[in-house]
């Protein structure tokens, strides 16, 4: 029995050492420690935001928070200096030299603001589809950051619009978030799709698919004959020089010229039962169906004709003379036939 006493003492000592170690570990885990990063809700940074286990001084404010949606850094030395007056025992910064601080927020994208205003304009002022309304703001529209507690939907609560000038003033808010008051102004245009040129065209240039693009323009800038369908322009030619970006109009286009000025052409003289072709020279350029002057290089006479194909013109003046000359002969034959019959 006496021999067991040392073993009992050793067991008690071992248990005491274990409890002491656990107590020490617990104390170490609860010692104040700097954080490497922190996310702040509100405009003030408090001691507890930057230091774990700050105890009763955790809610003491020490710094101003970054702007909503922004991130900044603060040195560990500044934090230690700020808490020194509060007698925080046992604070050791360890390897941390600075703390990253982020201000929590809710982001309202510029696109969401624009969409809300366009929808309100379309509804209140009967401007048609909101997707066709283009807004130009007086100031560059950027993402707006608000407190994360503002969880309601963004709404337009006041709106003024002048249909003549297109000027608008809009006030937006979030229900339940008294601090969120947003004001915007600018110009609104109802737009429509129109066909524009991607490269300049000279007279006679034939339009290809790569030469055109669809753009949205204010309806007030688009004429009644503006072309909106690319298929109605591709394959046609420019009637005159057209610059890049200009909306295409029907009057700007024509059929491709099949005859060029001073080009050698074939002149066709044609009446029922008779067709004659001679060499000629075009005095004008023309597309299919155009009336142009051509010079008969044999007779040196200028005649008027219709362009019917590449380098081919049907003359009219000779045809009329041939028909006129043929009519008396026909009449004489008919007269002789009547006399013989009598």
**Residue 318: what pLDDT?**
52
- Give the end-to-end CA distance of the chain in Å, rounded to a whole number: 175
Other CB atoms within 10 A of residue 340 CB: 7
**Residue 255: what pLDDT?**
86
**Residue 336: what pLDDT?**
43
The SS3 of residue 60 is coil
**Residue 58: what pLDDT?**
93
Give the separation between CA 219 and CA 304, rounded to whole angstroms.
43
**CB of 69 within 8 A of CB of 34?**
no
**Residue 243: what pLDDT?**
92
**CB of 48 within 8 A of CB of 79?**
no
Backbone angles phi, psi at 315, to 5 degrees: -85, 150
The SS3 of residue 274 is strand
Backbone CA torsion sign across 153, 70, 58, 99: positive
DSSP state of 236: -
Give the separation between CA 159 and CA 112, rounded to whole angstroms.
16
Pairing between strand 98-103 and 37-40?
parallel
pLDDT tens across 253-277, in order? 988 888 888 999 999 988 788 888 8
Per-residue pLDDT of the chain (342 residues; tens, 9 = 90+): 445 555 445 554 455 545 444 444 444 457 899 999 999 999 999 999 999 999 999 999 999 999 999 999 999 999 999 998 888 888 877 899 999 999 999 999 999 999 999 999 999 999 999 999 999 999 999 999 999 999 999 999 999 999 999 999 999 999 988 889 999 999 999 999 999 999 999 988 899 999 999 999 888 888 888 998 999 999 999 989 999 988 899 999 988 888 888 999 999 988 788 888 899 999 998 888 889 999 998 888 999 999 998 999 999 765 445 444 444 444 434 444 344 444
Length of the chain, please? 342
The SS3 of residue 271 is strand
**CB of 50 within 8 A of CB of 79?**
yes
Hunting for tokens 């045809």 — which residue is that?
Answer: 319
Nearest to 209 by CA among 222, 201, 198, 200: 198
Give the separation between CA 340 and CA 228, rounded to whole angstroms.
70
Give the separation between CA 289 and CA 21, rounded to whole angstroms.
106
**CB of 315 within 8 A of CB of 268?**
yes
């Amino acid at each position: 029995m006496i021999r067991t006493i040392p073993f009992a003492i050793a067991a008690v000592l071992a248990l005491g050492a274990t409890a002491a170690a656990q107590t020490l570990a617990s104390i170490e885990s609860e010692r104040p420690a700097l954080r490497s990063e922190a996310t702040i809700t509100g405009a003030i940074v408090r001691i507890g935001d930057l230091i774990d286990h700050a105890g009763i001084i955790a809610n003491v404010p020490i710094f101003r928070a970054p702007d909503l949606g922004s991130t900044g850094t603060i040195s560990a030395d500044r934090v230690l200096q700020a808490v020194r007056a509060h007698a925080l025992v046992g604070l050791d910064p360890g390897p941390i030299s600075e703390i990253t601080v982020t201000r929590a927020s809710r982001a309202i994208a510029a696109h969401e603001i624009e969409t809300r205003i366009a929808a309100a304009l379309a509804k209140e002022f009967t401007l048609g589809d909101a997707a066709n309304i283009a807004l130009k703001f007086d100031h560059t529209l950027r993402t707006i950051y608000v407190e994360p507690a503002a969880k309601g939907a963004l709404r337009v609560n006041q709106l003024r619009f002048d249909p003549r000038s297109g000027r608008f003033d809009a006030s937006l808010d979030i229900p339940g978030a008294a601090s969120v008051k947003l004001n915007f102004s600018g110009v609104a245009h109802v737009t429509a799709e129109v066909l524009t040129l991607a490269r300049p065209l000279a007279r006679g240039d034939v339009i290809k698919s790569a030469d055109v693009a669809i753009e949205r323009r204010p309806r007030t800038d688009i004429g009644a004959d503006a072309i909106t369908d690319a298929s109605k322009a591709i394959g046609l030619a420019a009637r005159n020089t057209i610059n890049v970006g200009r909306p295409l109009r029907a009057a700007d286009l024509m059929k491709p010229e099949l005859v060029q000025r001073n080009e050698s052409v074939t002149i066709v003289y044609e009446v029922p039962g008779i067709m004659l072709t001679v060499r000629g020279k075009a005095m004008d350029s023309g597309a299919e169906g155009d009336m142009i002057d051509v010079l008969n290089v044999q007779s040196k006479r200028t005649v008027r004709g219709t362009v019917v194909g590449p380098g081919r013109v049907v003359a009219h003046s000779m045809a009329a003379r041939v028909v006129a000359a043929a009519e008396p002969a026909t009449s004489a034959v008919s007269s002789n036939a009547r006399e013989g019959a009598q």
